Amino acid sequence: MARPKIALIGAGQIGGTLAHLAAMRELGDVVLFDIVDGVPQGKALDIAESSPIGKFDAGVTGTSSYEAIAGADVCIVTAGVPRKPGMSRDDLLGINLKVMKSVGEGIAKHAPDAFVICITNPLDAMVWALRQFSGMPAEKVVGMAGVLDSGRFRYFLAEEFGVSVKDVNAFVLGGHGDTMVPLSRYSTVGGIPLPDLVEMGWTTQEKLDAIIQRTRDGGAEIVGLLKTGSAFYAPAASAIEMAEAYLKDQKRVLPCAAHVDGAYGLKGMYVGVPTVIGAGGVEKIIEIKLDRNDKTAFDKSVDAVKGLVEACKGIDPTL
């Protein structure tokens, strides 16, 4: 049986890391695409040359032509530009919206059956636009944010409690970053919910609140340290987990920016919710009961995403 094909649209920091991880894990043959000629080819060759040493069998090629992604099973999109000093949110939105248009059309033409994972910021609006431009089924187009946000939350909790990251589960809802809604009562250490751990004296509510805030600011913390560019190791690892869930039909329960139509009282919009990812793409959206505080926070997050989508429609009236 032929190996699955994984197309990475954007060969920047995250794209390169995705290519390395996908190849090392032998998830399939990797095609790295970018409009900057030479970069995808160079990164692909470098990774391919590491394969005898790393002992993995995976084709890794670089390209600046959409034809090369033909028939891809998974497409992971990181194409776009980051925000530069002096650039407004709308400037960034306008540029990345144009990128989503060309990427959406390219994927729809050459890999219409792929499972598409969008990473480009502002995430919740870009994944919506990518779906609109590609015209692909909603369950096959998804955004990566929740796996990263919950990964950061889990790491900070494991550090706080001095336990293995493997035994910490976290539950997050809502948009990426600032408006993320972590649900403490569904977040656990060895099955014990966080509020119980506070009661047991493992930590204090103040410390927990500080961890939640640090998680919300997780992206900015890395940007502040790196000075140029944003996080790429953890974002790439997060998207790979989603791609693997699809390729291996794992039915993983993962928080993703998914198309929600009906659940949570929403009508056809992308926002971070718990999902089941398997061979059908987003096979299920898990609707949990929200208490009043969580509902308020979730509504705020939904409004922030709606604002961005409206701004996109203002920039491109065809949407």
Cα separation of 258 and 262, whole Å? 12
**Is 176 annotated in the active site?**
yes
Among 8, 14, 69, 107, binds ligand TXD (CB under 6 A): 14
From residue 194, alpha-carbon distances to 163, 165, 243, 294 in Å are 14, 15, 29, 15
Whether a cis peptide bond, with omega within 30° of 0, leads into 122 is yes
- The reply on whether position 80 binds ligand TXD by CB under 6 A is yes
- The reply on whether position 187 binds ligand TXD by CB under 6 A is no
Strand arrangement, sheet containing 281-285: 60-63, 29-33, 5-9, 74-77, 115-118, 141-143, 252-260, 269-278, 281-285
- Closest Cα to residue 146, out of 176, 122, 184, 123? 176
Among 63, 121, 188, 275, binds ligand TXD (CB under 6 A): 121
Nearer of residues 15 and 188 to ligand TXD, judged by Cβ: 15
Query: Min. distance of Cβ 269 from ligand TXD in angstroms?
Result: 17
Among 54, 135, 229, 314, binds ligand TXD (CB under 6 A): 229
- The reply on whether position 66 binds ligand TXD by CB under 6 A is no
**What is the per-residue binding string for ligand TXD in 252-291, x denoting contact by CB under 6 A?**
----------------------------------------
Among 62, 174, 175, 235, binds ligand TXD (CB under 6 A): 235
Under 8 Å between Cβ of 149 and 255: yes
Nearer of residues 175 and 281 to ligand TXD, judged by Cβ: 175
Instruction: Please give the distance of CA 246 from its chain centroid, rounded to a whole number.
Output: 14
From residue 24, alpha-carbon distances to 103, 250, 301 in Å are 26, 19, 36
Report the DSSP beta bridge partners of residue 31.
7, 61
- The reply on whether position 34 binds ligand TXD by CB under 6 A is yes
Residue nearest to ligand TXD (CB): 12
Query: Min. distance of Cβ 237 from ligand TXD in angstroms?
Result: 11
Cα separation of 7 and 112, whole Å? 12
Q: Which residues in this chain contact ligand TXD in the complex, by CB under 6 A?
A: 9-15, 34-36, 78-80, 82, 99, 102-103, 119-121, 123, 144-145, 148, 176, 219, 229-232, 235
By annotation, the residues acting in catalysis are 176
